Amino acid sequence: MAEKQLTAWRLAGENLRRQPLRVVCLTAVAAILASALFGGAIFTTGIQTGLDVLAARFGADLMVVPTGNAQKAEAVLLGGEPNYFYFNGEIARKIAPTPGVRQVSPQFFLTSLSADCCDLPVQLIAFEPETDFVVKPWLTALPAQGLRDGQIAIGCDILARENRTVKLFGREYPVAAQIGKTATGLDRSVLMNMSTIRTLIDHAHQEKLHFLADDEPAGAISAVLVRLDGTRPPATVAREIRRENPNVEVVVAQGVVQQIGQALRRLKGQVFAVLVALWVVAATVLTAVYSGSVNERKKEFSVLRLLGATRAKVAGIVLGEAFLTASSGGLIGVVLAALAVFPFSTYIGDRLQLPYIPPAAAYIFGMALFSLALVALAGLLAAAYAAWKIGRAETYLTMRAGE
């Protein structure tokens, strides 16, 4: 039978086993540190990724919408409520000649509560294939001609039926493509061309469904997406479009991305401040606890020295205890943070009006290891002072009666 060796590790473990309260406190501190570090990193990285995707995916420089609808339009972009609003289709033609404008393309919005695909209302977006420059890049999987009449493309949060169709207003439409996660309103959108949406509205009328758009003159649109040629600043072009067309508002895409970027920077700053505060407090607490416990355990350590343990061995026991508590606490913290961040991050992102895309598995794994390592290191460093005090053994090794 192999003997159970009394290694420094086992001594450390045995000491911890007999001091549950101390272990619980030390583990909890480590867990809080690790969860804050890991959770904060994963969450802010997720939003950074979301922002990058948004900036890359949103190909238009300006979005022209009817007066009073700028916020609704931003909501459509960023994943708030689906919305619809209309103005005369002539607007597109009037904007096109504005200096600095390279290309314009109209879009038509509709919302559907009745789609059987999803719990939430769905945003229907129709585009004009001849002029479109926004939607096409999203549909890279499709053949060159893009979406054909009658076909739709769906965002990543929309579930197609088994026969790869989505039922809208009582009819099934074949899904030609599904768009990857963007963490924007696009995830809950259905895309189609202008003639498909006219057919869809006709069918809906046959089902006795009516829309606000019915009252609009034929050719009404919801937005004009504008690409600039780069010769003039977006804000200048936006101002000129507003001056020439009294009934429109202009959303500057760069502005939206910048706003989110600012919000993200603020969030990162807050997360960072919380992390720094936590680490300072924890480092102080841990160092105090460890060096306090050395005073308390003078006797135990001097006995070990009397029995022939080297200074290094005694220090090793203290460091071993610190490492065991810090790393197990770190592991608990990472797991708890994962349980909080992964199921709820999309929801939190929505509430903050920030796009969130979960980081890649490799990044998550690496970050988990990094958090663990850092917390274990912090535990070791906090205990290092205590271990050093033991190294100066002479000061306490005289054992006297009554001690």
Partner 1 sequence: MLAATGLTKEYRRGGGRRVAFNAVDGVDLTVAKGEIVSVVGRSGSGKSTLLNMLTGLLRPTAGAVLFDGQDIWGWRDAEISRWRNTKIGYMPQGQSLLANLNVLDNVRLPFFLARRDGEITAKALARLAQVGIAHLAANFPAELSGGEARRVALARALINAPELLIADEPTGDLDLATTNEIMKLFAQIVGDGTAVLLVTHEAEAVISPTGARIYEMTGGKLAGRDKKVMRTH
Ligand X SMILES: Nc1ncnc2c1ncn2[C@@H]1O[C@H](COP(=O)(O)OP(=O)(O)OP(=O)(O)O)[C@@H](O)[C@H]1O
Per CB under 8 A, residues contacting partner 1 are 3, 5-7, 11, 14-15, 17-19, 299-300, 302-313, 393-394, 397-403
| Contact call for residues 204 and 182 (beta carbons, < 8 A) | no
Find which of partner 1, ligand X, none residue 6 binds, CB within 5 to 8 Å per kind. Answer: partner 1
107 versus 328: smaller Cβ distance to partner 1: 328
Among 17, 208, 351, 400, binds ligand X (CB under 6 A): 400
Task: Identify which of residues 140 and 398 has a Cβ nearer to ligand X in the complex.
Answer: 398
Comparison of 167 and 305: residue with beta carbon closer to partner 1: 305
Min separation Cβ 393 and partner 1, Å: 7
Residue keyed to tokens 């290092």: 384
- Nearer to partner 1 among residue 16 and residue 117 (C-beta): 16
Distance in Å, CB of 328 to partner 1, minimum: 18
d(C-alpha 326, C-alpha 334), whole Å: 12
**Cα Rg, the chain, nearest whole Å:** 31
* 18 touches ligand X (CB under 6 A): no
Based on CB atoms, which residue is closest to partner 1, 11 or 376? 11
361 near ligand X, judged by CB under 6 A: no
Q: Which does 21 bind (CB under 5 to 8 A by kind): partner 1, ligand X, none?
A: none
Q: Tell me the two tokens of residue 123.
A: 């945003």
Instruction: Decide whether 12 or 372 has the Cβ nearer to partner 1.
Output: 12
Query: Starting at the edge strand that comes first in sequence, how are the strands of the sheet with 223-228 ordered?
Result: 165-168, 171-178, 152-154, 189-193, 122-127, 101-112, 223-228, 62-66, 248-252
- The one segment of 30-38, 89-97, 218-226, 395-403 that binds ligand X by CB under 6 A: 395-403
Distance of alpha carbon 105 from alpha carbon 94, whole angstroms: 12
In the bound state with partner 1, the residue whose beta carbon lies nearer, of 369 and 399, is 399
> Residue 22 binds what, of ligand X, partner 1, none (CB under 5 to 8 Å, by partner type)?
none
Q: Are strands 152-154 and 171-178 parallel, antiparallel or unpaired?
A: parallel
Q: Among 144, 361, 362, 401, which residue interacts with ligand X (rule: CB under 6 A)?
A: 401
Q: What tokens were used for 1?
A: 């039978």
Of 198 and 305, CB closest to ligand X: 305
Please identify, among the stretches 110-118, 201-209, 338-346, 394-402, the one whose residues bind ligand X according to the rule CB under 6 A.
394-402
Q: Within 10 Å of residue 348's Cβ, how many Cβ atoms? A: 15
Give min distance, CB of 294 to ligand X, in A: 17
Using rule CB under 6 A, residue 398 touches ligand X: yes
Residue 159 or 399: the one with the smaller Cβ distance to ligand X is 399
Minimum gap (Å) between residue 296 Cβ and ligand X = 18
Q: Which amino acid is at 179?
A: I
Stretch that binds ligand X, among 105-113, 169-177, 205-213, 393-401 (CB under 6 A): 393-401
Residue 250's binding partner among ligand X, partner 1, none (Cβ under 5 to 8 angstroms by kind) is: none
Name residues contacting ligand X, limited to 69-88 (CB under 6 A). Answer: none
**Alpha-carbon gap, residue 102 to 62, rounded angstroms:** 11
Q: How far is the CB of 393 from ligand X (least distance, A)?
A: 12
Residue ranges in contact with ligand X by CB under 6 A: 398, 400-401
